[in-house]
Structure 1
Amino acid sequence: MDGQNTTDNDNCDSEDVPKWINKDYLELVLKDYFKDNLIKILDFYTKLATKKGENYASLVIRVVIEYENKNLKYNIGKYIIKSSIEDDPITKKVIKEYQAFEDEMLMYGEALPKIQELMNTQNNLQEISVFPKPIYCDFKNNAIILEDLLQRGYKGADRLKGLDEQHAKLALKKLAIFHACSIILDQQDPGCFKKFDHGIYNRHSDGLNTFFCSSLHKICTTLHNFGDEFINYSKKIRNLIPHWVEKERQCYDPKPNQLNVLAHGDFWSTNIMFKYDEFDQDDESRKPLDAILIDFQFSIWASPAIDLHYFFNTSLAGLPNIDEMENYVKYYYHELLETLKLFEFKEYSKIPNFKEFLQEFWENGFHALQTAFIHKSIAFLEDSSVACPEALFCEGDKMENFEWAMINNKRIQEHWKILLPCFERKGLFDL
């Protein structure tokens, strides 16, 4: 739901930055990270790191720090500070219900370092970055300080344009490595990731459910106006709405008879950054060299299908194509197995063959409905002026305006017209 993947924006107004982000605080962070008590900050600057439409769950600030170390050497450090939204009590309450910040700090403080440590045992993975380097986890202020990936040449993709095959495969390869490492760690310490159980849909909170169901009713009204052939789809979706939340929770529930991984949970183009050849200045044709995953607020122990359906239905360029999606599933599955082989994984009986894996993918296919209708509409939102956290969490005019801005999008509607018959053939409308 948010990330660090935009270019620099205008300087933050002072009211945009929490009071605790000051010289003394940043000096403490650097001293702790570099283990240097003589670090002295000379100056620092802050800028907003995300635009409207990219950030719904946190405040993301880019900070540039000029400092001297114990050797009096001048340095410039560039970092990202993610903190909880404090100015709206309802938004704050809902985010707390989802444990978004608690889980992300656990990810950066415990889970991701374990994954990195595991990767460091393999020569083929030692030089690979899957996620940004954590600098400091601040439980008092609900904040995480991370390296700023812009300084390493990583940039965000255009969420409205979507990802071509080269971008998509780079992202899926990194996802497969991330998932495979979680399988290995769970094998070594069974149940170590089960505490991550607060995904976007979960058994503990329902703060987003009003927005989801309200949007679905508006989508049904819109489909009804498409013409006779879509009236039936409108009825099918409307019949599903009372069961929608439970069916989504079932997709998110870990299943003992299926493959489970530590899923990213919010895997779409805004939460992936790409590195390009610095000498290739053509934005239209330049080829990506690498990808890094960001934003782990909704990570959850669940089926990898959660991440795959989310990605395919929010982030791919062009018109949706089920055959293309299944080809990408095959690519992801191959990369998953290749990573497991590096660790001489012993429990292959627990890994489904590809036919079984594809079956599991579609058994969790109800998530494709959710992501195609709701998350895709958010991803392709063109009128960013209506985008704000209150639009997701607070009933009223802001939610109403946001929903209609999502739905009254001709591009999205064309995607629905293609996907509805495909989803029906897959049995996704069945109760």
Structure 2
Amino acid sequence: MDRTEHNIIKDSNDSEDIPEWINKDYLENCLKNSFKDESIKILNFYTKLASKKGENYVSLITRVLIEYENKNLKYNIGKYIIKSSIEDDPITKKVIKEYQAFEDEMLMYGEALPKIQELMNTQNNLQEISVFPKPIYCDFKNNAIILEDLLQRGYKGADRLKGLDEQHAKLALKKLAIFHACSIVLDQQNPGCFKKFDHGIYNRHSEGLNKFYYTLMQKVSYVIHNFGDEFINYSKKLLNLIPYWIEKERQCYDPKPNQLNVLAHGDFWSTNIMFKYDEPGQPLDAILIDFQFSVWTSPAIDLHHFFNTSLAGLPNADKMENYVKYYHDELLEALKLLNFKEFSKIPNYEKFLNEFWISNGFHAIQITFLNKSTCLLGHCSAACPEALFGKGEKVERFQWAIANNKLVHEHWRILLPFFEKKGLLNI
């Protein structure tokens, strides 16, 4: 790339979709703010969409490479990600606003995550650990966040259809435990500091996705009814749950005064985790990304989401509970590293497992029957924001594609008897 000043390059296939406000002046201002250096001058920049409209339901992801110099004429190359809101469709715009997805993520990157990083920096054993990408700039005017591009540090996504093996899963759970532990300590220092994060995917403020989930669950129940005679009763129980579905999920998301609460990621699954690998291809590290649905609630929300969307192979109850134990051990270890003193407020493993299943187990049903199939859906022409938030034929086609996703049907067959044994199918 020539170092000719103002040489702006866009991918020809993406130029129409990349927001017009992503220009030289805008990017230069972001860098000046981030590095506290007014002398920064952009020489060239290159933009390319990392995800196209329809591949991400609420965000447009633009990858940017910037060549710039400062007052010392020192030449630099920076690689960044710009997350911006998809708001072309009025229905989508209304629902995204209702869920505060972008507002909360900018609060996470602008306030909460820097506080967590600052806390980690006070402990020698945590200073060098990365849990999330470095934020560069939070733009409330354009509903955008500029972040470091983790690809330049060697991180990449895992195969969501293949799922995560034990090495990947434990790396992810360790980072989650550190993230949660930091939020516990910060809440101890400043009680209630994260309570404003109360707009998770299920909350007491919005109705946007409720109708979608109601009608999708009817289709899922119909598909399960056709699995065979031994599944008809399960299908009826799921249908009976539908009128209570939203309230049961809201109860899972509600913070509980007498139980463990953390700042949960809120959408913790393989696509929102990036990994670094060694030469033979073994995973070495993990970083959490995408904090649009972060919420102050039980850590069980993140664990159920992860276990029922992201693990390789067929579900196994013993393996799942072994992972719960691993997470709990890592949480206690992280709290020790942070010099946490009030361990009497942290449930032991047996009590934590009880909270995981009894108080928050219904979330496993939600993730298993509605989210997992969506997460593992291959290319679907109906998959777009309008299919989630709108109505009509596109929604119907999208929902039937989810319900008929054969990749998850065997998981449903295995988990239905297990969920019934746990009492989770009861009203």
TM range (shorter): over 0.9
> Aligned partners of 1:315, 1:32: CA distance in 2, in Å?
37
Could you say what secondary structure the match of 2:381 adopts? Answer: helix
Cα deviation, residue 11, structure 1: 5.5
Change (3 A) 1:32 1:344: closer
- 8 Å contact 2:14–2:49 — kept in the other structure? no
Question: Hey, what does 1:420 align to over in structure 2?
Answer: 416
Aligned length: 417
Q: Which whole-Å deviations, capped at 9, do the CAs of 1:128-177 have from their partners, x for residues lacking one?
A: 00000000001111110000000000000011010000000000000000
2:395 paired with 1:399: yes
> Aligned partners of 2:103, 2:34: CA distance in 1, in Å?
21
Per chain length, whose mean CA-contact separation is higher, i.e. which structure has more relative contact order (CA < 8 Å, sep 6+)?
Answer: 1
Change (3 A) 1:45 1:12: farther
Question: Hey, what does 1:4 align to over in structure 2?
Answer: none
> Aligned partners of 1:116, 1:136: CA distance in 2, in Å?
16
- In the TM superposition, structure 1's runs of 4+ consecutive aligned residues that sit over 6 Å from their partners are none
2:405 paired with 1:429: no
Q: CA RMSD in A?
A: 1.3
After TM superposition, list the pairs within 5 Å mapping 1:348-387 onto structure 2: 348-363=343-358, 364-387=360-383
- 8 Å contact 1:52–1:384 — kept in the other structure? no
- 8 Å contact 1:154–1:274 — kept in the other structure? yes
2:87 paired with 1:91: no
The farther-off stretch of 326-335 and 40-49 is 40-49
Could you say what secondary structure the match of 1:43 adopts? Answer: strand
- Counterpart of 2:385 in structure 1: which amino acid? P
After TM superposition, list the pairs within 5 Å mapping 1:148-297 onto structure 2: 148-277=149-278, 279-280=279-280, 286-297=281-292
Which among 277, 290, 299 is matched to residue 304 of structure 1?
A: 299
2:329 paired with 1:334: yes
Cα deviation, residue 54, structure 1: 5.1
> Aligned partners of 1:30, 1:119: CA distance in 2, in Å?
25
Cα deviation, residue 117, structure 1: 0.5
> Aligned partners of 2:293, 2:80: CA distance in 1, in Å?
22
- 8 Å contact 1:11–1:46 — kept in the other structure? no
- Counterpart of 1:268 in structure 2: which amino acid? W
Cα deviation, residue 383, structure 1: 2.6
Unmatched segments (≥5 aa) in structure 1: 1-8, 281-285
2:385 paired with 1:389: yes
Change (3 A) 1:226 1:83: same
Unmatched segments (≥5 aa) in structure 2: 1-9
> Aligned partners of 1:148, 1:422: CA distance in 2, in Å?
41
The farther-off stretch of 112-121 and 337-346 is 337-346
> Aligned partners of 2:415, 2:52: CA distance in 1, in Å?
29
> Aligned partners of 1:400, 1:133: CA distance in 2, in Å?
40
Cα deviation, residue 263, structure 1: 0.3
> Aligned partners of 1:12, 1:58: CA distance in 2, in Å?
18
> Aligned partners of 2:315, 2:419: CA distance in 1, in Å?
12
- Counterpart of 1:368 in structure 2: which amino acid? A
- Counterpart of 2:365 in structure 1: which amino acid? L
Question: Hey, what does 1:121 align to over in structure 2?
Answer: 122
Change (3 A) 1:65 1:11: farther
- Counterpart of 1:250 in structure 2: which amino acid? Q
Change (3 A) 1:51 1:229: farther
- 8 Å contact 2:172–2:273 — kept in the other structure? yes
TM-score by length of 1: 0.95
Question: Hey, what does 2:4 align to over in structure 1?
Answer: none
Which among 402, 405, 410 is matched to residue 409 of structure 1?
A: 405
Could you say what secondary structure the match of 2:329 adopts? Answer: helix
After TM superposition, list the pairs within 5 Å mapping 1:64-103 onto structure 2: 64-103=65-104
Q: Which whole-Å deviations, capped at 9, do the CAs of 1:372-427 have from their partners, x for residues lacking one?
A: 01110111102343321111111112211111111212221111001100111111
Cα deviation, residue 343, structure 1: 2.3
TM-score by length of 2: 0.96
Change (3 A) 1:12 1:35: farther
Change (3 A) 1:46 1:384: farther
- Counterpart of 1:96 in structure 2: which amino acid? K
> Aligned partners of 1:52, 1:327: CA distance in 2, in Å?
38
Q: Which whole-Å deviations, capped at 9, do the CAs of 1:323-379 have from their partners, x for residues lacking one?
A: 111000000000000011112322111111100000000020000000001110111
- 8 Å contact 2:55–2:384 — kept in the other structure? no
- 8 Å contact 2:52–2:61 — kept in the other structure? no
- Counterpart of 2:378 in structure 1: which amino acid? E
Q: Which whole-Å deviations, capped at 9, do the CAs of 1:240-284 have from their partners, x for residues lacking one?
A: 00000000000000001110000000000000000011x33xxxx
- Counterpart of 1:187 in structure 2: which amino acid? Q
> Aligned partners of 1:408, 1:51: CA distance in 2, in Å?
25
The farther-off stretch of 43-52 and 307-316 is 43-52
Cα deviation, residue 51, structure 1: 5.7
